[in-house]
Amino acid sequence: MPHHALSIYWFDRDMRLADNPALVAAAANSERLLLVHILDTADPRPEGGAAKWWRHGSIAAFQESLTPFGQTLYLFQGEPEAILKQLLTETGATAVYWNRRYEPHTRTRDTAIKAALKAAGIHAESHIGDVLQEPHTVNKADGTPLKVFTPFSKAADALPFHAPAPRIMALPPQPVQKPTTALPLAALGLLPTKPDWAGGLRESWMPGEHAAAQRLKDFIGGALSGYAEKRNLPYYTSTSRLSPYLHFGEITPRLAYQAARATGDSYDVQRFIAELYWREFSIYLLWHFPALPVQNWRASFDAFPWREDAAALKAWQRGQTGYPIVDAGMRELWHTGWMHNRVRMIVASFLVKHLLIPWQRGEEWFWDTLVDADAANNAASWQWVAGCGADAAPYFRIFNPVTQGEKFDPEGRYVKQWCPELKDVSQQFVHQPWEAGALLRPKGYPAPIVDHSHARNRALEAFEKIKKEAV
């Protein structure tokens, strides 16, 4: 017998019917269920443009998936606590359910909301969010947080696995009376208008739970075999490309982990699960170090001699650095809202070590242009590449963009896909077209904005500076 005549289920980044533990609990304990999504205008760091585009698609796809259940997802915009209180008053609901989030703002927000609801006599119930293990459950024996990936991943994997919740097959009916202040999807203003820059995103992606499940199925049956060897090759579909679906909660890491494990314990499976734990490690770091998106994790880097160079930053953002593997990655990002992980490391290293531009500028650009822009993963990854983050050894490593291109895109197929100016350049020169000679140099492609040898020496001198100051 349901405990509540009417409950509210509050969706955030978890618009799915599979492995949704809070929705399972709400459905089991409610005679009627009001489904709501609130675009949080109190968030001090709103989503970037690409992520907003994805959220729009995620909402639309989930609204469609609710049709067979006779349910509706009602949309609101504002401060979640105020809107939930208004809905409770208007509907007479006696319970609110949701899945937890782990960023600083959402943690503070949800803790306050839960306390306020309970004080008002409302049942407030939250469940494990989109993680394998919740951040507060993984620690050293003395209770302090782990700061190195391998011990963290081993400790997390040793904990009991949270089996995915069963897929929702039925939902209680919605309230007879509709909320009076619900908004149409267009009113949330998530899509670009003038100019409409999202054409490449529409070509590249289909948001939603159904697309996420198909992506996982295709990966498990395809690129997972050979993943360990091919995942660094950007031209091929060699990675799962699940990151935006995981970020928006259209699929959970638990489902991905379970699907991979079901195929056995090959090295490919181990490498894929390690990547799931890298995502988890980033969430864990942000939980314990909430200033991660803005402050150096290693305080010694506060003395690093960064340079502010608007022209160089703009060249990097537009894929006009003169280094093909860097430019290809930045153009792929702008067109598709995504970039291959190996190339992300190369372009990030170029910005912070060749140009000595603060990692925060790169983090900000990725935040606005990535469909999978995630507060934890974005900040932790940028700090790792810059050398100032957790487990970032050797911090003084400087990627050579030419040799990186030759190693991971030996035929130049990825580079030529995104830099058509280089389509006729031979394999010998495709990663260093300035060496091709005046007659063979591609027209319309820029010369390098910085010399690699000079940039490398300058970066090493900068690292020496902070090393001496640390002593």
Which CATH number characterizes residue 88's domain?
3.40.50.620
Q: Say which residues have a Cβ less than 8 Å from residue 272's Cβ, sequence separation at least 6.
A: 224, 227, 240, 256, 260
Residue 202 forms part of a structural domain: no
Same domain for 224 and 333: no
Same domain for 262 and 353: no
Same domain for 373 and 433: yes
Peptide bond into 135 cis (omega under 30): no
Catalytically annotated residue among 10, 338, 382, 418: 382
Residue 183 forms part of a structural domain: no
Euclidean distance between CA atoms 176 and 23, whole angstroms:
20
Same domain for 220 and 96: no
Task: State residue 65 phi and psi, 5-degree precision.
Answer: -70, -20
pTM: 0.96
Euclidean distance between CA atoms 371 and 245, whole angstroms:
9
Predicted confidence (pLDDT) per residue in 119-160, tens digit: 999 999 999 999 999 999 999 888 899 999 999 999 999 999
Q: End of a domain among 85, 112, 128?
A: 128
Residue 68 forms part of a structural domain: yes
Other C-beta atoms lying within 10 Å of the C-beta of residue 246: 23
Catalytically annotated residue among 79, 90, 306, 364: 306
State the residue range of the domain holding 52.
Answer: 1-128
Tokens 């700061």 sit on residue: 147
Q: End of a domain among 77, 105, 128?
A: 128
Residue 187 forms part of a structural domain: no
Residue 175 forms part of a structural domain: no
Whether 98 is a known active-site residue: answer no
* Sign of CA pseudo-dihedral 214, 220, 221, 226: positive
Whether 367 is a known active-site residue: answer no
Residue 176 forms part of a structural domain: no
Residue 181 forms part of a structural domain: no
Whether 332 is a known active-site residue: answer no
Same domain for 117 and 144: no
Report the CATH number at residue 460.
Answer: 1.10.579.10
Q: End of a domain among 288, 317, 335?
A: 288
Predicted confidence (pLDDT) per residue in 353-368, tens digit: 999 999 999 999 999 9
Same domain for 450 and 307: yes
Contact call for residues 414 and 234 (beta carbons, < 8 A): yes
Report the CATH number at residue 228.
Answer: 1.25.40.80
Same domain for 258 and 141: yes
Catalytically annotated residue among 79, 139, 197, 341: 341
Whether 287 is a known active-site residue: answer no
Q: What are residue 263's DSSP bridge partners?
A: none
Residue 193 forms part of a structural domain: no
Catalytically annotated residue among 275, 280, 332, 406: 275
The number of folded domains in the chain is 3
Question: Closest Cα partner for 401 from 434, 362, 440?
Answer: 434
Same domain for 39 and 101: yes
Same domain for 439 and 305: yes
Tens digit of pLDDT at every position of the chain (471 positions): 568 999 999 999 999 999 999 999 999 999 999 999 999 999 999 999 999 999 999 999 999 999 999 999 999 999 999 999 999 999 999 999 999 999 999 999 999 999 999 999 999 999 999 999 999 999 988 889 999 999 999 999 999 999 999 999 999 999 998 899 999 999 999 999 888 899 999 999 999 999 999 999 999 999 999 999 999 999 998 999 999 999 999 999 999 999 999 999 999 999 999 999 999 999 999 999 999 999 999 998 999 999 999 999 999 999 999 999 999 999 999 999 999 999 999 999 999 999 999 999 999 999 999 999 999 999 999 999 999 999 876 667 899 999 999 999 999 999 999 999 999 999 999 999 999 877 677 888 999 999 999 999 999 999 988 876 554
Helix, strand, coil percentages, rounded to 5, for the chain: 50, 10, 45
Same domain for 221 and 327: no
Q: Say which residues have a Cβ less than 8 Å from residue 328's Cβ, sequence separation at least 6.
A: 234, 319, 343, 409, 414, 415, 417, 418, 419
Whether 359 is a known active-site residue: answer yes
